[in-house]
Amino acid sequence: MKTEGRNAVLELLAADKPIEKILLEKGAEGSLKRIFAEARKKNVRVQFVDRRALDKESVEKRHQGVIAFTSDYAYSTVEEIIGSSGEDGLVVLCDGIEDVHNLGSIIRVAECAGASGVIIPTVNSASVTEAVIRISAGAANHVKTAKTVNLARTVEELQKAGFWVYALEADGQDIYSARLSGKLALVIGGENSGVRRLVREKCDGVLSLPLKGKVNSLNASVALGIAAYEVLRRR
């Protein structure tokens, strides 16, 4: 797997993930010099190449002068996420998030808000790819991400572990009047389909954000950001 972009590679180095090698543009300046210094500290092999070589290796041509090569993304398990959650643990579940930009942004929000982990389905969902890692600004290297074959069953598993599970949808209780203490899990649905009926019925409730404009919905990662930081503010 390739990790591209200066911030993403710096976060990869900070996370102490195994790195096979780093391609760095010749004449490195600014944060590229910092990447080189951090790589040397961790005994990571660095190869200096010209921009054409980086362009050839880059998936989206957004390498910013650096590409790191690692093994495939190492997913956690649902059990590991539950086990690492404290009494005020927060877990994010994605139901039908198929766009890599949305998944990357959701993972970034989850990591910044201190979530224990992110859980995604094995089907009808984006996976953690090179693009997702870059879009998450490297957050995917810090927050646990797990796959599940049955999201509705995972909701039940979280509930048995003491979590209150809420779907984030447009027709529920105003989040600002809801009880948000204890272990919480927030389910965010795809922009077109929302949270699926079966998953929603398993949840303990539905929470909504007030919408005062003419547009009837928020981007999935934006909605999660507002909700997650309301949870954080209460605590």
Please give the Cα distance from 22 to 84 (Å, whole number): 31
Please give the Cα distance from 61 to 51 (Å, whole number): 10
Q: In which residue are the tokens 């009494």 written?
A: 87
Provide the mean pLDDT of the chain. 92
CA angle, residues 160, 161, 165, in degrees to nearest 5: 75
> Is the pLDDT reported for residue 193 higher than 90?
no
Half-sphere exposure of 153 (CA within 13 A, CB side): 7
Amino acid type, 37: A
Segment 154-185, tens digit of pLDDT: 999 999 999 999 999 988 999 999 999 999 99
What is the residue extent of each domain of the chain? 2-69, 78-234
Please give the Cα distance from 112 to 65 (Å, whole number): 26
pLDDT of residue 20: 87
pLDDT of residue 134: 86
Contact 138, 9 (CB under 8 A): yes
pLDDT of residue 158: 98
pLDDT of residue 106: 97
Same topology, domains 2-69 and 78-234? Answer is no
User: For the ranges 166-170, 175-179, 188-192, 203-207, which has the lowest average pLDDT?
Assistant: 188-192
Segment 50-92, tens digit of pLDDT: 998 998 888 777 899 999 998 788 899 999 999 999 899 999 9
pLDDT of residue 1: 84
**Secondary structure (3-state) at 106:** helix
Please give the Cα distance from 22 to 20 (Å, whole number): 7
Backbone φ/ψ region at 4: left (φ over 0), alpha (ψ -120 to 50), beta: beta
> Please, which contacts does 11-14 make with residues 24 or more away whose CB atoms are closer than 8 Å?
11/137, 11/138, 11/139, 11/141, 11/142, 12/68, 12/70, 12/133, 12/138, 12/141, 13/38, 13/39, 13/42, 13/44, 13/68, 14/38, 14/138, 14/141
pLDDT of residue 184: 97
Segment 43-57, tens digit of pLDDT: 899 999 999 899 888
- Which residues 6+ apart lie within 8 Å of 24 measured at CB? 32, 35, 36, 46, 47, 48, 49, 65, 66
Q: Which CATH class is domain 2-69?
A: alpha beta
Q: Taking the complete model, does pTM exceed 0.85, yes or no?
A: no
Q: 168 - beta bridge partners?
A: 188, 207
Segment 129-142, tens digit of pLDDT: 888 988 998 899 89
Q: Which CATH superfamily is domain 78-234 in?
A: SPOUT methyltransferase, trefoil knot domain (3.40.1280.10)
